[in-house]
Amino acid sequence: SHKLCMIPGPIEFHEDVLNAMATPATSHIDPGFISTFGETLEGLRAVVGTKAGQPFVVAGSGTFSWDLAMANVVEPGDKALVVSTGLFGDRMVDCLKVFGADVQVLRPEQLGGVPSTEVIKQALAQDSFKLITVTHVDTSTGVLVDVQQVANTVRQVSPQTLVAVDGVCSVAAEELLMDDWGVDLVMTASQKALGCPPGLAVVVASARALDAWKQRSAPVPSYYGAWARWLPVMQAYESRKPMYFATPAVQLIMALHVGIKQLLARGMPKVYAAHRQTSDQFKRTIQVLGLETLPLTESVAAHSMTAIYYPTGITAPDLLPRLSQRGIIAAGGVHPVMAPKYFRIGHMGLTALEPERQYVTKTEDALKASLQEAGYHLTE
Ligand code: PMP
């Protein structure tokens, strides 16, 4: 029988999302599909809080959303400031370098922290950066960055710098108001809080990000990822007209359409509140079990997932197979140095939104039983 996929993405799917994919072959220029795609793009704007931002939805995983943003915005020699709170921030450095950026990285003093506003302010004041990137939730550490505060700091100190957010593990789980906060690039993917199977990369670009692309002098070093090829396609679908550059992932877009409709029917403020409540409940249980989480303080702890240290004497092979036997799939650590010391649970999308939170409760019960079976002495 199906084991609950409680990793930080892919997550459990709503049956309506899955049914949307169980459709007969459909042309990518079928009138019905054209409206589905058009509504999906309109819905994405509402999810990330922008009126004029330009969404791009292209087949690829979350990593491709980085290429789809950076290949178009970054030119060789551009200075980029990366706020890295884990593995995905460090990978962003590699990605930016591929496109020729001159990268400066800010890391917290200790893993589980976030570089302070003061440190970010100083770095911004000392050089002229084309863009700053932050990982909203770094899935390797479960650390949440206050994107609004970073964007405010940028506006005060270096208003011309573009603010780029890796929202792969946060969009539709953590509040994000692109226009109000002044965010220029949001990069995300279908398989996390948007509630769909993996396979779609999503970028939403502000007018400023589009201007940076229009004003670039170096050619865009990508064929499939070039905005010049995708922008007319996205505009065509939104105006309910057919247009082809490369075949869209028709069934995945049908699934994303349902996922987004479900989110918007509930309303984003309620979606964010549900993620907070679910996360609070889960983290309370972790605390009651006497376990510690990787983020150094509550204020930098994500609401989409939790990274938890194994207690002394318990290792991954003691715990993860026992959870699996109880029907719960959890994820190990992924940070290069810390990986063997912690595991991760995702509680976003459906798992946060279903009213009884039964998936999370089942996970808590399985965790308790598995720890006890592994010889851990509960402090309760
Ligand atoms: N950024 C973050 C924050 C992620 O969590 C992930 C995936 N875990 C990625 C980027 C890369 O996404 P993908 O694995 O879909 O390529």
Task: Please work out whether the CB of residue 139 comes within 6 Å of at least one atom of ligand 1.
Answer: yes
Residue 145, C-beta contacts closer than 8 angstroms, at least 6 positions apart: 83, 85, 114, 134, 135, 136, 137, 138, 300
Distance 186 CA to ligand 1 centre (A): 13
292-317 residue pLDDT tens: 999 999 999 999 999 999 999 999 99
Ligand 1 pocket, mutate which of 87, 95, 139 (most atoms under 8 A from CB): 139
For residues 208-226, give the mean pLDDT.
Answer: 98
Task: Please work out whether the CB of residue 302 comes within 6 Å of at least one atom of ligand 1.
Answer: no
Which of the listed CATH numbers 3.40.605.10, 3.40.30.10, 1.25.40.10, 3.40.640.10 matches domain 15-265? 3.40.640.10
The 3-state DSSP class for residue 78 equals coil
Q: How far is CA 363 from CA 264, 322, 329, 370, in A?
A: 27, 12, 9, 10
Task: Please work out whether the CB of residue 135 comes within 6 Å of at least one atom of ligand 1.
Answer: yes
Q: Domain limits of the chain?
A: 4-9+267-373, 15-265
Q: Which residues sit opposite 308 in a β-bridge?
A: 293, 343
Evaluate if pTM is beyond 0.90: yes
* Position 335 confidence tier, pLDDT thresholds 50, 70, 90: confident
Rounded CA-CA distance 255/108 in Å is 38
Q: Residue 60 pLDDT > 80, yes or no?
A: yes
Domain 4-9+267-373 class? alpha beta
The ligand 1 atom nearest the CA atom of 189: 15
Distance 63 CA to ligand 1 centre (A): 6
Q: Residue 10 pLDDT > 60, yes or no?
A: yes
What is the ipTM, given to two decimal places? 0.99
The ligand 1 atom nearest the CA atom of 136: 3
